[in-house]
């Protein structure tokens, strides 16, 4: 097994292990309605982030916003029947959706606005935006 | 030894015009919402939150992520005095720029068959607010911003819409826009307290607890009244 394979396996420890990292349960739904992670007996784990972010709208005055993202293992998504998530521009296609709890236990649902897939090591970072469902 | 014996506490003309611009926008906004309701339209499309001279970051959409009410912030940018049209004793003519800044928030909406994209909605909302504010301030009714004798001319010098920040990865779709309004008027020496027959001009601005402009009224006090 080469170093890259080992690195990809290490993702399993980093993103999904309950003893070695900061894994967090995530639910992801594809545009055609396939949902992964909503089964308590077979959850999906990854990293989630929801921190403050300043928007500069070029007027000289800032707007407070958030930087929200999840990081998931590509091989896990594939094994569970999902294609690689991607930002959807077409109006006649639903966006990928991601749900997870914040630290207080409140569940939030977001849409995937863009993605950063790393096919070298097998990690995908999904940048999220607010959605009204 | 001082030579000015009167307390200088009267607003300069640029301050009055700044307040008059926001007063006009608030009054007409409220009326537009009534007209929209009467016409069977959604009054929310004519609604905006009005502020003046704000500089702190807007946090309206930080937690209330479904709120798509745009923000309008009016502020005085700068002016330039025209020596050729002025005199050194009585009054000086100046041309000022007032910025009407617009902040529009779009939230992606999931539909039965797809989506209404939030980034597009933010831009469309910003354009709608540019349209609304321009049409209000450039209405024939406001040829002199309701201050004839004080305002010589008002003109929309430019409009600009700023693309969303590249690579910002922010969760909120926010588009900023600016309409620069140029106004030509006179500023007066402190000894001069009347302009034509107008003795005093009062512009009352009422803010709610959040600092949003909710009521604006203009009162004129003439010499012969």
Contact list in A for residue B169 (CB cut-off 8 A) is 53, 67, 69, 113-114, 127
pLDDT in tens, A12-65: 899 998 886 789 999 999 999 999 999 989 999 999 999 999 999 999 999 999
Q: Is A95 on the interface with B (CB under 8 A)?
A: yes
* Long-range Cβ pairs for the range B215-218 (8 Å, 24+): B215/B26, B216/B19, B216/B22, B216/B23, B216/B24, B216/B26, B216/B27, B217/B23, B218/B20, B218/B23, B218/B146
Contacts of A54 in chain B (CB under 8 A): 57
Mean pLDDT of B156-163: 96
Out of A58, A61, A65, the one facing B170 most closely (by C-beta) is A65
Q: How far is B67 from chain A (nearest CA, A)?
A: 10
Task: Give how far A35 is from chain B: nearest CA, Å.
Answer: 16
Half-sphere exposure of A109 (CA within 13 A, CB side): 15
Mean pLDDT of B194-201: 57
CA distance B55 to chain A (A): 6
| Contact call for A67 and B162, based on CB within 8 A | no
pLDDT at B193 over 70: no
* B18 closest CA partner among B45, B43, B49, B51: B51
Q: Say what the pLDDT of residue B223 is.
A: 57
pLDDT at B224 over 90: no
Interface pTM, i.e. ipTM: 0.89
Across the interface, of A61, A94, A130, the residue whose CB is closest to B171 is A130
Shortest alpha-carbon distance between residue A86 and chain B (Å): 14
Set of chain B residues whose Cβ sits within 8 Å of the Cβ of A130: 65-66, 107-108, 118, 171-172
B125 touches chain A (CB under 8 A): no
Mean pLDDT value of segment B20-46: 98
Task: Name the packing angle between helices B118-137 and B13-38 (round to 10°).
Answer: 110
Q: Which of B61, B64, B170 to mutate: most A Cβ within 10 Å?
A: B170
Q: Which residues in chain A touch residue B44, judged by CB atoms under 8 angstroms apart?
A: none
Q: Could you tell me the two tokens for A65?
A: 């916003």
Contacts of B115 in chain A (CB under 8 A): 88, 91, 93-95, 111
- Note the pLDDT of residue B195: 46
Residue A84: closest CA among A118, A57, A50, A56: A118
Of chain B, the percentage scoring pLDDT greater than 70 comes to 94
Q: Using a CB-CB distance cutoff of 8 angstroms, which residues of chain B are in contact with residue A95?
A: 108, 110, 115
The per-residue pLDDT for B85 is 87
Tally Cβ neighbours within 10 Å of residue B198. Answer: 16
Mean pLDDT is lowest, of A116-120, B156-160, B203-207, for B203-207
Q: Is B117 on the interface with A (CB under 8 A)?
A: yes
Determine the distance in angstroms separating the CA of A102 from the nearest CA of chain B, rounded to an integer. 13
Judged against a pLDDT cut of 50, whether residue B225 lies above it is answered with no
**Residue predicted with more confidence, A66 or B216:** A66
Collapsing DSSP states into helix, strand and coil, what is residue B31? helix
Average pLDDT in the A72-100 region? 97
Q: Which residues of B76-115 are buried (b: 16+ CB within 10 A; e: fewer)?
A: beebeeeeeeeeeeebbbbbbbbbbbbbbbbbbbbeeebb
Q: Do B57 and A94 touch (CB under 8 A)?
A: no
The answer to whether B9 faces chain A, any CB pair under 8 Å, is: no
> What is the least distance, in Å, from the CA of B139 to any CA of chain A?
25
């Amino acid at each position: 097994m080469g170093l890259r394979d080992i690195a990809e396996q290490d993702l399993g420890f980093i993103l999904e292990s309950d003893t070695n990292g900061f894994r967090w349960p995530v639910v992801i739904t594809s545009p055609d309605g396939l949902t992964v992670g909503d089964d308590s007996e077979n959850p999906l784990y990854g990293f989630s982030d929801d921190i403050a972010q300043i928007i500069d709208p070029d007027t000289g005055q800032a707007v407070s916003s958030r930087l929200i993202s999840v990081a998931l293992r590509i091989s896990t998504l594939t094994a569970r029947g999902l294609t690689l998530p991607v930002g959807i521009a077409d109006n006649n296609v639903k966006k990928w959706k991601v749900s997870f709890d914040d630290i207080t236990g409140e569940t939030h649902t977001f849409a995937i606005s863009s993605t950063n897939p790393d096919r070298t090591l097998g990690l995908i970072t999904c940048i999220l935006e607010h959605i009204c469902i | 030894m001082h030579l000015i014996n009167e307390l200088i506490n009267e607003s300069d003309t640029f301050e009055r015009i700044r307040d008059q611009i926001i007063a006009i926008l608030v009054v007409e906004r409220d009326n537009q919402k009534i007209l929209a309701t009467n016409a069977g339209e959604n009054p929310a499309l004519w609604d905006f939150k009005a502020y003046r001279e704000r500089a702190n970051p807007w946090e309206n959409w930080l937690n209330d992520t479904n709120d798509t009410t745009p923000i309008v912030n009016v502020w005085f940018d700068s002016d330039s005095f025209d020596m050729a049209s002025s005199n050194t004793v009585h009054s000086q003519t100046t041309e000022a720029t007032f910025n009407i800044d617009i902040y529009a928030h779009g939230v992606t909406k999931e539909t039965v068959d797809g989506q209404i994209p939030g980034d597009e909605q933010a831009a469309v909302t910003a354009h709608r607010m540019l349209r609304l504010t321009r049409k209000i301030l450039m209405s024939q009714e406001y040829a002199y911003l309701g201050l004839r004798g004080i305002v010589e001319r008002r003109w929309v010098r430019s409009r600009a819409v700023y693309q969303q920040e590249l690579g910002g990865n922010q969760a909120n779709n926010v588009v900023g826009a600016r309409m620069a309004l140029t106004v030509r008027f006179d500023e007066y020496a402190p000894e001069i307290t009347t302009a034509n027959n107008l003795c005093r001009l009062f512009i009352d601005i009422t803010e709610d607890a959040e600092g949003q402009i909710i009521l604006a009224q203009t009162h004129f006090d003439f010499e012969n009244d």
